[in-house]
Structure 1
Amino acid sequence: MKKLIVIILCLISFRSQAQYQIITTVVKKVIKAIDLKVQRMQNETIWLQNAQKTIENELSKFRLTEISNWSEKQKSLYDDYYQELWKVKSTIAYYQRIKELAANQLAMVSEYQRAWKLFQSDQHFKPDEIIQMQRVYVGLLDASAKNLDQIMLVVNPGKTQMTDQQRLEAINQAGDRLEENYSDLKQYNNQNMILSLHRAGDLNEIQTIKSYYGLH
């Protein structure tokens, strides 16, 4: 009987470890995907920031209403160029929003990594609870990755036909969902910290947990 119990416990432990490894692998893949998307967003934002000054300088050169002695052909040529510059300039406006969202996403991943490292070492949580935490994190991080995909789709003029205003609204909507993902993650972390405090045996242990998680 004792041998049977030992075998059963070993099987349960093995199964828990296998589940943990699978979920951890999924999380790593999601975080890698997020990092790549954020890097792409940041690169595009940096390029547009550098381009902004050049565009504004170019725009100041072509004030068609102030130009005289030009043929209609010249005016038409530079009018097209002028309009194209304005389109790019208006695009820069919503890339500022993207820059903010990229920073927000990096903060979310950093918050997950910080809290997850602490929870794994917290003896107040059982192995199956740790696995469940990872499942929740997978859901939150995957949702944020999908919202990043939506943003990248919107900012690609070749894939979506929208006015600049419609594009900015779509970015803001996806951005709001990203911020909600981040808020949900922080709330979930706080709930787990509170649960750990409730499981403390005495006041000294409570103070130790508070110090461990940086709570005041």
Structure 2
Amino acid sequence: MDLQVQRIQNNTIVLQNVQKTLENTLSKLKLEEIGSWTEKQRQLYSGYFDELWKVKNAIATYKKIKDVVQLQVALVNEYQRSFQLLRQDNHFTPEEIEYMYKVYSGILSESLKNIDQLQLVINSFSTKMSDGKRLQIIADAGSQISDNYTALRQFTTYNIGISMQRSKGSSEIEMVKRLYGLQ
């Protein structure tokens, strides 16, 4: 009888161990299922986050590019206005006007090279380029176009000064001031 009780106890212990093993296996399966679901959610939201990050960077880049392009437009407008006025000024010879045209053309050519760099940045959205590199190219192009704009204005101011020096009398100086909008 004691032997039978001991066998029943042993069988009970074996059954309890089997039960614990089953519970552990079931818990492991549940944890793996939860882990799998969590990983799927992480991947899903990671994709959303990556897309939002790209959109944010694209918007920031777009604004910076827009600012640089607006500066380029201002440079071209300033060139057109200045060169048109210089051509109307009787204090310059045709050779001097031709020289001015070459200088202005050189400034515009340099600024167009910077616009080409911006196109590289715009096209880089389809290829791999780090955001830092993209923003650096935009900043460099903007800085160089700003320098070109400043050079154009300085050259124009220099030419206006020459025209004023060549003016004879106060009425002619007033005419030059009116021509260039200096009052």
TM-score by length of 2: 0.74
Runs of 4+ in 1 over 3 A off after TM superposition: 158-161
Question: SS of the residue aligned with 1:123?
Answer: coil
How far did residue 141 of structure 1 move? Answer: 0.6
Counterpart residue number, 2:98: 131
Tell me, which stretches of 5 or more residues in structure 1 are unaligned? 1-69
Q: 1:157 to 1:187 in 2, by over 3 A?
A: same
Q: 1:172 to 1:129 in 2, by over 3 A?
A: same
Structure 1 residue 213 and structure 2 residue 180: aligned?
Answer: yes
TM-score by length of 1: 0.64
> Which of the numbers 120, 126, 129 marks the counterpart of 2:87?
120
Counterpart residue number, 2:141: 174
Kept after mapping to 2: 8 A contact 1:105/1:178: yes
Q: Which whole-Å CA distance do the structure 2 matches of 1:188 and 1:152 have between them? A: 28
> Which of the numbers 70, 81, 88 marks the counterpart of 1:103?
70
How far did residue 215 of structure 1 move? Answer: 1.1
Tell me, which stretches of 5 or more residues in structure 2 are unaligned? 1-36
> Which of the numbers 109, 133, 149 marks the counterpart of 1:142?
109
How far did residue 72 of structure 1 move? Answer: 3.1
Kept after mapping to 2: 8 A contact 1:104/1:179: yes
How far did residue 151 of structure 1 move? Answer: 1.5
- Look up the equivalent residue of 1:211 and give its one-letter code: R
Q: Which whole-Å CA distance do the structure 1 matches of 2:156 and 2:56 have between them? A: 41
- Look up the equivalent residue of 1:148 and give its one-letter code: I
Q: 1:97 to 1:137 in 2, by over 3 A?
A: same
Q: Which whole-Å CA distance do the structure 1 matches of 2:143 and 2:39 have between them? A: 47
Question: SS of the residue aligned with 2:123?
Answer: coil
Structure number, greater radius of gyration:
2
How far did residue 152 of structure 1 move? Answer: 1.3
Q: Which whole-Å CA distance do the structure 1 matches of 2:170 and 2:145 have between them? A: 38
The share of aligned pairs that are identical, in percent, is 45
Q: Which moved more, 1:101-110 or 1:159-168?
A: 159-168
Counterpart residue number, 2:53: 86
Question: SS of the residue aligned with 1:119?
Answer: helix
Counterpart residue number, 2:121: 154
Kept after mapping to 2: 8 A contact 1:147/1:177: yes
**1:155-205: CA deviations, max 9, x gaps?**
322576432122112210111001111110011111111100000011111
Question: SS of the residue aligned with 1:102?
Answer: helix
Name the Cα RMSD after superposition.
1.7
Q: Which whole-Å CA distance do the structure 1 matches of 2:126 and 2:167 have between them? A: 54
